[in-house]
Amino acid sequence: MREADGNGDPLGVDPEAMRAYGYRTVDMLVQRLCDRSIPPLRRASPQEMRDRLSGPPPAAGQDFDAILARLDRDVLPFMSRGDHPGFFAFIPFCGTWPGALGDFIASACNIYAGSWMESAGPTQLELEVLAWFKQWIGYPAGAGGVLVDGGSAANLTALACARETLVGDMSADLVGYVSDQAHSSLARSARVLGFRPEQLRVLPTDARFRIDPRILAAAMDADVRAGRRPLFVAATAGTTNTGAVDPLTPLSQLCRERGVWLHVDAAYGGFAVLTERGRELLRGLDAADSVTLDPHKWLYQPYECGALLVRDDSVLRTAFQMTPDYLQDCCAGDETNLSDRGLQLTRSARALKVWVSLQYFGVDAFTAAVDRSLDLAERVRERVDAADALELTAPASLGVICFRRRFPGAANEDEVDAHNAALVVALEQSGLGLVSSTIVNGRYTLRVCVLNHTTGADDVDRLMDFLQSAEPTTLAAPAAAGTVALAGACQRDHPIPATPLRRRSNGGGG
């Protein structure tokens, strides 16, 4: 039971108990995190979860060990395990222990990182971390940024900066441009900011799934002729679907000529700039007006941690700064109030985990981890190229490899789709690994994303052996034609559909 602190505080905990609970929590976590037998995903039905967890909160406190045991038994087993070396699905997420401890420190100290007055240390730490990111992508000294909860929030913040900086009020003649491979958070951000579906042009991509600057220029010309005002282009450096990188330099030239804001969503791919080949691939990123980076993807930070960087530091304040009377005490001289740079007033100290993990491992270790992922992704591509049974469905890029198994005996393409979907399910059921699927050029495709620092060559080889040679007879029953896209793990990160965006009757996102 909870120990009173002797001060009449109904929610106080005795210092010795604080230590003991902390040690026991760490013991439980280390046991779990080091248990190699836990599969990359354990699903459960809503009924099973209700059976385990439904009920009112207890009126009286419970024993802490019993609480931990319940979490360990009824909650933590039923989730994906992003740090599993065989986790190749969606955008893998693999933190580090020092990063998690950084988050724990931020949480235990309950840091309010909104104003300098209340948080000079953590604010400076965030400015330092942002300065590293700025330098890594080649931004100039006058650039700025803010940490947010993820890539979606960063994209929303970027589009708000674009509108407030270039025009101010929302207007029906403003137009934004994305590709049919852009992440759905961009369409959602545009919607939240008041862009109607017809104010967001979804451009078809080229054979390598990239924006064609000529198509973009023609779309802008047509809009200008029709009396509309092109406002922003949201390009992607590492599309969620295939890892494609839009041609950043021509796009920035085009945008600069026309006074249009260029945002680059580099949420998952951006930290490849730590490596030489990544820098080469992402050349031109520094010319964007704003860049989304997600440290909780390829910088191995625990959820949640996103970042928006802007080429001109002042645009964040232009878009977000407000000083109500009740915050007048927080404003002094050249102090930075991070709450003036985004939507959140109350904000946690996300920089702590980034800082702690980078201090502990050093930048070189992160560079080596990203480099290793790129090597392993290359290994996957080579395995696909070398196997008659497999074919690439998109050029491999930035850790993402899209391919499918041929199944020569299949009656038609729908059956090939269904067998590939069954392969995804069978892999999950084997406990060996997890891949997700997507649609490329209208066909079901296997999608392997190699990002985890825990993944090694053996893990890749085991995965490819399975996908290449698992016998159809050992596969789960093929899904009915037309439903294969739903087989396997549910898709989380949908690209924007090529058709014009319309609000669905159920209010679902684009």
Ligand X SMILES: Cc1ncc(COP(=O)(O)O)c(C=O)c1O
Residue corresponding to tokens 């994906």: 80
Residue 436 touches ligand X, criterion: CB under 6 A: no
- What is the contact mask toward ligand X in residues 366 to 385, using x (rule: CB under 6 A)? --------------------
Pairing verdict, β 306-310 and 174-179: unpaired
Pairing verdict, β 174-179 and 229-236: parallel
Residue 236 touches ligand X, criterion: CB under 6 A: yes
Stretch that binds ligand X, among 28-36, 148-156, 373-381, 427-435 (CB under 6 A): 148-156
Tell me the Ramachandran region of residue 127: left when phi exceeds 0, alpha when psi lies from -120 to 50, beta otherwise: alpha
Residue 313 touches ligand X, criterion: CB under 6 A: no
Residue 183 touches ligand X, criterion: CB under 6 A: yes
Residues 6+ apart with CB under 8 A from 464: 380, 383, 384, 387
Which one of 96, 115, 179, 240 is in contact with ligand X (CB under 6 A)? 240
CA-nearest of 111, 105, 117, 147 to 130 is: 147
> Which positions from 468 through 497 interact with ligand X, judged by CB under 6 A?
493
Handedness of CA 36, 40, 42, 46 (dihedral sign): positive
Rounded-to-integer distance, Cα 374 and Cα 376, Å: 5
Nearer to ligand X, 177 or 268 (CB): 268
> Which positions from 149 through 178 interact with ligand X, judged by CB under 6 A?
150-152
Q: What is the largest CA-CA distance in the chain?
A: 76
Burial of 179 (0-12, 13-18, 19+ CB in 10 A): buried
Nearer to ligand X, 295 or 478 (CB): 295
Cβ atoms within 10 A of the Cβ of 224, count? 13
Stretch that binds ligand X, among 116-124, 233-241, 324-332, 373-381 (CB under 6 A): 233-241
Nearer to ligand X, 417 or 493 (CB): 493
State the number of binding residues for ligand X (CB under 6 A). Answer: 15
Nearer to ligand X, 151 or 478 (CB): 151
Q: How far is CA 472 from CA 396, 409, 466, 476, in A?
A: 26, 10, 11, 8
Residue 494 Cβ, how far from ligand X at the closest point, in Å?
Answer: 10
Residue corresponding to tokens 């700064």: 321
Residue 211 Cβ, how far from ligand X at the closest point, in Å?
Answer: 14
Q: How far is CA 27 from CA 21, 69, 104, 106, in A?
A: 10, 12, 15, 20
Nearer to ligand X, 281 or 416 (CB): 281
3-state secondary structure of 463: helix
One-letter identity of residue 89: A
Nearer to ligand X, 186 or 424 (CB): 186
Residue 33 Cβ, how far from ligand X at the closest point, in Å?
Answer: 22
Stretch that binds ligand X, among 123-131, 134-142, 144-152, 500-508 (CB under 6 A): 144-152
Residue 264 Cβ, how far from ligand X at the closest point, in Å?
Answer: 10
- DSSP characters for 5-22? -SS--TT---HHHHHHHH
Nearer to ligand X, 195 or 268 (CB): 268
Residue 154 Cβ, how far from ligand X at the closest point, in Å?
Answer: 8
Stretch that binds ligand X, among 224-232, 264-272, 422-430, 445-453 (CB under 6 A): 264-272
Residue 100 Cβ, how far from ligand X at the closest point, in Å?
Answer: 18
Buried b / exposed e over 60-92, threshold 16 CB at 10 Å, is eeeebeeebeeeeeeebeeebbbbbbbbbbbbb
Stretch that binds ligand X, among 102-110, 225-233, 263-271, 277-285 (CB under 6 A): 263-271
Nearer to ligand X, 238 or 284 (CB): 238
Residue 91 touches ligand X, criterion: CB under 6 A: yes
CA-nearest of 186, 192, 193, 141 to 163 is: 193
Which one of 122, 144, 284, 306 is in contact with ligand X (CB under 6 A)? 306
Nearer to ligand X, 137 or 479 (CB): 137
Name the CA radius of gyration of the chain, rounded: 24
Which one of 246, 294, 313, 459 is in contact with ligand X (CB under 6 A)? 294
Rounded-to-integer distance, Cα 479 and Cα 116, Å: 56
Nearer to ligand X, 103 or 294 (CB): 294
> Which residues here bind ligand X, judged by CB under 6 A?
91, 150-152, 183, 185, 236, 238, 240, 265, 267-268, 294, 306, 493
